Amino acid sequence: MFESFELSTVDVGEAEIRVRHAGSGPPLLLLHGNPQTHAMWHRIAPRLAEDFTVVAADLRGYGDSSKPPTTPDHAPYSKREMAKDQISVMRHFGFERFNVCGHDRGGRCAYRMALDHPERVAKLAVLDIIPTGEAFRRADMAFALGYWHWFFYAQPHDVPERFLALDPDEHLLEGRRHLFAPEAFEDYLRCFQNPETIHAICEDYRAGATLDFAQDEEDRLAGRRIGCPVLALWGRRNFLEEWYDVMDIWRGWADDTRGRALDCGHYLPEEAPEETYAELHAFFAG
């Protein structure tokens, strides 16, 4: 995987971030979801690097990025802090303004970045999410049962940590190993077996249920919007299309929006790499 990419670690002050980068052209930051690493982009990043400078990073707490100490308010694992890390990563490579695509938790970091630092984000793509605040505000029994891990991982330390550590292989990606390339899955599993990673993931979800939700609500009530063009893609075989009018929700957050469902599940870049690549390339190159 990533044969043409350079692997490095970038010190951003509060954390050290594992990064792969390659290519030339407009800068494009790729951010992964839970419980994965930047390896999730391996099927599309090399093709994107033919036309873009691609930077694929591990979020703080995930992969081989460092795990900063936690605090009672979970602030170190808020998407606001994660976004600051990634802005510093892009500055390290000489980019003050860039495109960003995030899947799952990485998408939450990406749209928070666009809200907090509009001067940094030229275009934003989000994969298989609606905003965190919208998800919690609209929560019902279907959401609670379908996304039960949002509520379980957010429980106080160390109940979810102990549960996940009992059998990391079984809990990782809930038996969907067949969806992933062996090399990518091994990277996910190696990192997920680290108790520090498990704790960081739980802190991410605790921050999601507290600070991230509160910051989204503050922005919504204040009428703050995402100023850059937004592409939203989601998997038709996952829950979003069943529960929400996805585009209507994103239109409530940004004026310039487009998007559609792909015929796959949650892991778009790995389950539907051709369609995902085509949509991202057309959006970021347009």
Cα separation, 216 vs 249, whole angstroms: 13
- What is the rounded average pLDDT for all residues in the chain? 97
Q: Which residues carry out catalysis?
A: 104, 266
**Mean pLDDT, residues 206-211 taken together:** 98
> CATH number of the domain at 6-285, out of 3.40.50.1820, 3.30.413.10, 1.20.870.10, 3.30.1360.150?
3.40.50.1820
pLDDT digits (tens, 9 = 90+) for 132-184: 999 999 999 999 999 999 999 999 999 999 999 998 878 787 778 899 999 99
Say if residue 227's pLDDT is above 90: yes
Say if residue 19's pLDDT is above 80: yes
Per-residue pLDDT, 203: 98
**Mean pLDDT, residues 13-38 taken together:** 98
Per-residue pLDDT, 169: 79
Nearest to 281 by CA among 90, 37, 56, 26: 26
Say if residue 6's pLDDT is above 80: yes
**Mean pLDDT, residues 94-118 taken together:** 98
Q: What percent of the chain has pLDDT over 70?
A: 100
Per-residue pLDDT, 176: 85
Q: Which DSSP string do the residues of 107-169 spell out, in sequence order? A: HHHHHHHHHH-TTTEEEEEEES---HHHHHHT--HHHHHHTHHHHHTTSSTTHHHHHHHH-HH
Cα separation, 283 vs 281, whole angstroms: 5
pLDDT digits (tens, 9 = 90+) for 238-264: 999 999 999 999 999 999 999 999 999
Say if pTM beats, i.e. exceeds, 0.85: yes
